[in-house]
Amino acid sequence: MTEQFDVIICGAGPAGTTCALALGNTGLKVALVDKNNFPRDKVCGDAIAAYVPKVLNTINPAYAKALESFTAKEKVNTIRVVSPNEKTLDISYGEDGFISMRLEFDNFLLELVKQLPNVKLLLNTSVKDIVIDDKGVEVYLDSSLKLQAQLIIGCDGEQGLVRKKLTHTQLDPKHHAAAVRAYFKNVKNIPKATFELHFLKDVIPGYFWIFPLPDNRVNIGLGLLTKTVSERKLNLRNEMLRIIETVPYLKERFEGAEMISDIKGYGLPLGSRKVSISGNRFMLCGDAASLIDPLTGEGIGQAMVSGRYAGWQAKKCFEQNNFSATFMKHYDKTVYNKLWKEHRRSYLIRELLINKPKLFNLSVNLISNNKFLYNLTKKVFN
Ligand SMILES: Cc1cc2nc3c(=O)[nH]c(=O)nc-3n(C[C@H](O)[C@H](O)[C@H](O)COP(=O)(O)OP(=O)(O)OC[C@H]3O[C@@H](n4cnc5c(N)ncnc54)[C@H](O)[C@@H]3O)c2cc1C
C-alpha cells in the first residue's frame, strides 16, 4: 500500500514535533513517523533552555501559552558551577529555564501536533529505507505501508537512518560525547531553582550533574567526550556510582537517597564542527544534524530551533517548487547563523578553560571574589 504526502518527518522528538508545528495549517500534507509509542522516555538531563518558549511563540503564541500552563516542570534560573577544587560559583541568569522529564515534555509537544488537521501521526512505526530520485522521496516502513512525498526531514536523533542513508557524515569521537542518566529522590541540600554542574578533577572537561525535578526528585548524570571515554576505558555507569559513593561532599548528599530508575546511557553528537545538514529533497534537524552544545550538552533547544527552520524552509520549497540541494542550502545557512557562534564559544571555553584544572580553579576563585568579573560572566551566560 502506498500513501501520498507532501512532507515526511522521520522522528517525533523535539526536532520532529517542532518541525510539524511549523508546518501546521500550511495546507501541506505531512506525515510524522516515530518508531516509538508516546509518551516515551529519552535519555537526557531534561534541562530545557530559557529560550524554548520563544521558539514556540514564533510559530504560534498559543503554543508558548500552553507551555506556560504545562505543570510537569521545575523552574531553574541559576547555574551552579563546582570547580575541580570544589569551589562553588552560582550564576543567576535573567530568564527562567526549566527541568522536565522528556517522557512528559516530548509528549506535551506531540499533543500540540495532534491538534493539526494536516499532520498524520504514524507512531510505533519505523522508517526502514529511503529512496530519493528526480520525482520525489519513497519511504519504506516496517509495516506493509510505503510513503511517497516531495521532501523528507530527518529528525530521528543521534543514530538516525536519514543521515546514514542520505549523507556521508560519520559520527566522530572528537565531536561526540557519551553520557549516563538516572533518577533519584530524596537527595539532600538541593538548592532552589538551580541546576548543578560538578566539574570533578578526574572527569573534566566532562561533568557530573544534578538537576531538580518536581516532587523532590532529581535527574543526575555524567557526561564526557567519547574520545576520553575510550582512551581511559571508562565505564560511565560505574564511574557515576563511584562519584556518588566516594566523593565526600556528594556522598553526604546521597546518603538515604533512593535511585528510582535504571542508569541509562546514550550518545550526544556535538555541534563543534560544521557538517552538511541538507541535500536534494532532504534536511536534517536536531541530533541527526549534530547540533548539541559542545560544553553544556544541551540539544533540545537546538533541535526545536532547527526543526522550526526546516519547517519554514519546506514551506518555501513548495512555494517555489524547488527541492534542489542548492535551494536547501539556505537551511544550513540559517541554522549555522543562529547556532554556530555560541557553539564555537562553548568549544573554546571547554578546551581553553575547563580542560585546564589549575586555570579553571583560579578563574572560579577570581569570578566569585570580583563583582566586575562576576557580572561579565553573567553576561556570557545570558
Ligand atoms: C545523557 C544525555 C543528557 C542530555 N541532557 C540534555 C539536557 O539536559 N538538555 C538538553 O537540552 N539536551 C540534553 N541532551 C541532548 C538532547 O537529549 C538531544 O539533543 C535531543 O533529544 C535532540 O532531539 P531530537 O528531536 O533531535 O532527537 P530525539 O529526541 O533523539 O528524537 C528522535 C526520535 O526519532 C525516533 N526515531 C529514530 N529512528 C527512527 C526511525 N528509523 N523511524 C522512526 N522514528 C525513529 C526516535 O524514536 C525518537 O523519538 C542530553 C543527551 C543525553 C544523551
Are 11 and 54 within one domain?
A: yes
Euclidean distance between CA atoms 340 and 40, whole angstroms: 30
What pLDDT, in 10s, does the model give residues 187-221?
A: 999 999 999 999 998 888 899 999 999 999 999 99
Pocket test for ligand 1, best of 277, 287, 293 (most atoms within 8 A of CB): 287
pLDDT at residue 280 tops 80: yes
Q: How far is CA 224 from the centre of its chain?
A: 16
Are 263 and 321 within one domain?
A: no
Ligand 1 in reach of 217 Cβ (< 6 A): no
Compute the residue count for the chain.
382
Rounded to whole angstroms, the maximal C-alpha distance in the chain is: 68
Percentages helix, strand, coil for the chain (3-state, rounded to 5) are 40, 25, 35
Reported pTM? 0.97
Nearest to 152 by CA among 323, 331, 329, 333: 323
Containing structural domain, residue 158: 2-74+100-170+271-350
Q: How far is the CA of 188 from the centre of ligand 1 (A)?
A: 29
CATH code at 330? 3.50.50.60
**118 located within any domain:** yes
Ligand 1 in reach of 300 Cβ (< 6 A): yes
Ligand 1 in reach of 161 Cβ (< 6 A): yes
Q: How far is the CA of 316 from the centre of ligand 1 (A)?
A: 27
Average pLDDT over residues 259-286: 98
Are 109 and 236 within one domain?
A: no
pLDDT at residue 380 tops 80: no
Query: What confidence category does residue 381 fall into, taking pLDDT thresholds of 50, 70 and 90?
Result: low
Alpha helix positions (H), 2-142: 14-22, 52-59, 61-69, 102-114
Query: What confidence category does residue 372 fall into, taking pLDDT thresholds of 50, 70 and 90?
Result: confident
Are 157 and 126 within one domain?
A: yes
Check residue 382 and give its pLDDT.
Answer: 65
What pLDDT, in 10s, does the model give residues 144-190?
A: 899 999 999 999 999 999 999 999 999 999 999 999 999 999 999 99
Check residue 229 and give its pLDDT.
Answer: 95
Residues 6+ apart with CB under 8 A from 170: none
Ranking 98-102, 153-157, 350-354 by mean pLDDT, the lowest is: 350-354
CATH code at 233? 3.30.9.10
Are 281 and 367 within one domain?
A: no
First to last CA, the chain: 51
Q: What is the mean pLDDT of the chain?
A: 96
**Tally of domains within the chain:** 2
Ligand 1 in reach of 107 Cβ (< 6 A): no
Q: How far is the CA of 158 from the centre of ligand 1 (A)?
A: 7
